Structure 1
Amino acid sequence: MSRTPEFLTQAHDERDPSPWLALYLDQSTPLPDDVKSAWLADSSSASRQYLLPFLRPIARLTIILIQIVKVFVPRNWSHSMLLHRFLAWGLKRFVSPEANWLILRHFHLGSQVLSFIGRNSPAPVGTSPLEPADIDALKDEMFLKHDLNLFNFVIRLNTALRDKGVALCTAEQVDFSMIQSPALRLEDMPQGKLNFLDLQSAIELFTPLYQLMLTDNDFWRAANSLQLDETIGIYAATILNAPEHLILVNNKHPLVPLSTLRAGHRLVIHGLSTEMLHSLLQRMRAAQEGGAPEPLRRDPPLA
């Protein structure tokens, strides 16, 4: 059974209001109830409050040390399969159910967003969707493939547009058919006694390992794929003729590569941006089909 976040079970005290309840009820960020509840439950966990402040500087120092060590390592030294097996093992045994659920969702949502853009382009292109059914499916180099898919998609899309002599533009009839909720359940995620690590702490821990076991080129590309959030946001906004939605996407300018030291934090922003863009597309699909879109918020069960 999934856990109900503490901030949804406590009565509202005006002299000591819960910041997490305020964020949950706020409607400025378009997320479904279950996603926002899981996100805030993970963000308000003891792991993030007490462990993350210690893990983050250690992880960033480790990134610097590994970079020095890799000066003396062959450029093509890589153990991607072993890396992904270790990541899957760590996720299953130490990471919280909410964080694992959000991680698995991200692959599905990212694939759907790329498919949406590719299919609604005036020069349509195909995609290579990643839809892991469980954590074990991540062993198939899923994280690395996710980064490769993003850059390959941008290259294929813009090559097709240039070859056809057109630019991305507003679609006359937008196809939302690929936008749907993934068939993933929070209650199916591992819920052992050691599954306590929050999303941000897990990412900070795994980032140096990612750097160590991949080539410099793979790690650099993974870190800088995050700056394509604005690019994907612009593509979607252009197709929808809705530039106001770009305010929800902010992960630095795609033409200005940043240091890899903040890759962990930016990866969390990347995940949240994808969730919000997908949620907007879901609501637009519901509106197009003539049904009332699902409310962003519902009254929480207060005690």
Structure 2
Amino acid sequence: MPQVGLSDPSMWDAISADPSIPLDRALVRKILDDQRRLSRRWLYPIARVLSRVIVALVSIVKRVLPFRWMSLGTMDVLCVWFLRRFVHPDAVELLIRHFVVETNLVNFLIRNTPAAMEPVTLRPVTLAGLGDHAVVEHDVNVYDVFIALDGVPVTRREPLDLQRLDIPSIDPERGRRRLLRLDIQTALCFMNIPFSMALTLEEYRRAIHSIRFDDSLLELLAVVCDDDTFRHWKTGALSLRMDSNVDVPQAVYLHALVCEYAHARLVELA
């Protein structure tokens, strides 16, 4: 009897076709293309270990020498220079886009809850926009909105304000000559080093812990929108559990995906 041939599907094609992913197909392809870069396959495993070792050593020494080793301004300059010269433009665009997406999510909660604070304004569209302490500001915005909701009832708001969820045109400086074109995950490994040097131990701990509010953010969105879809993307990262010994670049990448999923659902509701 003739042997029935087995299918030989592509993992990337299957992910791209996954109907459960709520993101725009063009965005999905851009994310997948970034994960398929040579740097993601060959350099990321090395950069991931190297980054964790260096950051751990920095944290240990900072307990003995607890002062700021690098100004936030210097950190901004180094990171923007690195993105301009060593990171693929598509990866840069995805990184800038995350700042806008998270701001849209925070502002949605501010507009649709009794949070006593003004909408945040961090919506960079260029590499230069990642300067001026943008990385620190975007973490602080998350803390501010949760503190502003302390003691106030969060319920379904009628009607929902689903305006201002747009993503502006982003300029990742595609025409600039780059020495390397790293993927975003490898880039995050290298950028985490100056980040750990520039922040105090408490600031660095606060920045890392901001990611643990993702499940809380999804729960608030589910309540305000009366939509269980948001709860499907929870990762089990409870904000009550303090843990700074995490793989920061990997956690940041997952955080960015969770934000993209939540933002895409809001756009769909709109």
**TM over 0.5, yes or no?**
yes
User: What amino acid is aligned across from residue 96 of structure 1 in structure 2?
Assistant: H
What do residues 43-73 of structure 1 show as CA deviations (whole Å, max 9, x unaligned)? Answer: 1111101111111111111111111211222
CA distance in 2, matches of 1:33, 1:77: 43
Aligned length: 265
Q: Does 1:223 align with 2:215?
A: no
1:284 aligns with 2:269: yes
Query: Which letter maps to 2:107?
Result: S
Choose the corresponding residue for 2:43, options 23, 46, 51.
51
**Is residue 171 of structure 2 the alignment partner of residue 171 of structure 1?**
no
Displacement of 1:78: 4.7
> Contact conserved, 1:223 with 1:260, CA < 8 A, in 2?
no
Q: 1:64 aligns with which of 56, 59, 66?
A: 56
- Whether 1:93 and 2:76 are equivalent positions in the alignment is no
The one-letter code matched in structure 2 to 1:142 is: A
Cα deviation, residue 181, structure 1: 2.6
Is residue 2:227 matched to residue 1:242? yes
Q: 1:251 to 1:139 in 2, by over 3 A?
A: farther
**Among 163, 181, 184, the residue aligned to 1:196:** 181
TM-score (norm 2): 0.92
CA contact (8 A) 1:150 1:225 kept: yes
Match of 1:210 among 189, 192, 195: 195
Where in structure 1 do 4 or more consecutive aligned residues deviate above 4 Å?
Answer: none
- Residues 168, 238 of structure 1: 8 Å contact kept: yes
SS of the residue corresponding to residue 206 of structure 2 reads helix
Which sections of structure 2, spanning at least 5 residues, go unmatched?
A: 1-5
* CA distance in 1 between partners of 2:64 and 2:258 (Å): 37
Map 1:246-261 to 2 at 5 A: 246-250=231-235, 252-261=237-246
1:107–1:146 contact (8 Å) kept in structure 2: yes
- Quote the offset at 1:122 in angstroms: 4.0
Q: 1:48 to 1:76 in 2, by over 3 A?
A: closer
TM-score by structure 1 length? 0.82
Aligned-partner residue type, residue 213 of structure 2: L
CA contact (8 A) 2:88 2:180 kept: yes
Query: CA separation in 2, counterparts of 1:127 and 1:148?
Result: 13
Tell me how far 1:231 sits from its aligned partner.
Answer: 1.2
C-alpha distance in 1 between matches for 2:126 and 2:208: 24
Q: 1:122 to 1:80 in 2, by over 3 A?
A: closer
Q: Is the 8 A contact 2:114 2:149 kept in 1?
A: no
Q: Which segment drifts farther, 66-75 or 86-95?
A: 66-75
| Letter in structure 1 aligned against 2:15 | L
- Is the counterpart of residue 30 in structure 1 residue 22 in structure 2? yes
For residues 240-289 of structure 1, the C-alpha deviation after alignment (integer angstroms, 9 at most, x for no partner) is 1112321223261111022343111100001011111111111110xxxx
Letter in 2 for 1:213: A
Q: Quote the residue 2:3 is aligned against.
A: none
Q: Distance in 1 between matches of 2:174 and 2:238?
A: 35
Which amino acid in structure 1 is aligned with residue 160 of structure 2?
V
Alpha-carbon spacing, 1:190–1:89, altered in 2? closer, same or farther (3 Å): farther
Distance (Å, rounded) in 2 between the aligned partners of 1:123 and 1:53: 42
Distance (whole Å) between structure 2 residues aligned to residue 218 and residue 236 of structure 1:
27
- Structure 2 residue 167 is matched with structure 1 residue 181: yes
Q: Distance in 2 between matches of 1:54 and 1:76?
A: 27
Q: Which amino acid aligns with 1:140?
A: D
In 2, the alpha carbon distance for the partners of 1:24 and 1:73 equals 48
CA 1:123–1:145 in 2, change beyond 3 Å: closer, same or farther?
closer
Q: CA deviation at 1:85?
A: 0.7
Measured at CA, do residues 244 and 271 of structure 1 come closer, stay the same or move farther in structure 2, by a change above 3 Å? same
Q: SS at 1:261's partner residue?
A: coil
Aligned to 1:293: none
Identity %: 27
Cα distance change on mapping 1:278 and 1:195 into 2, 3 Å? farther
**2:251 maps to which residue?**
266
Residues 202-240 of structure 1: CA deviation (Å, up to 9, x unaligned): 111111221111111111111000001111111111101
Secondary structure class of the residue paired with 2:147 = helix
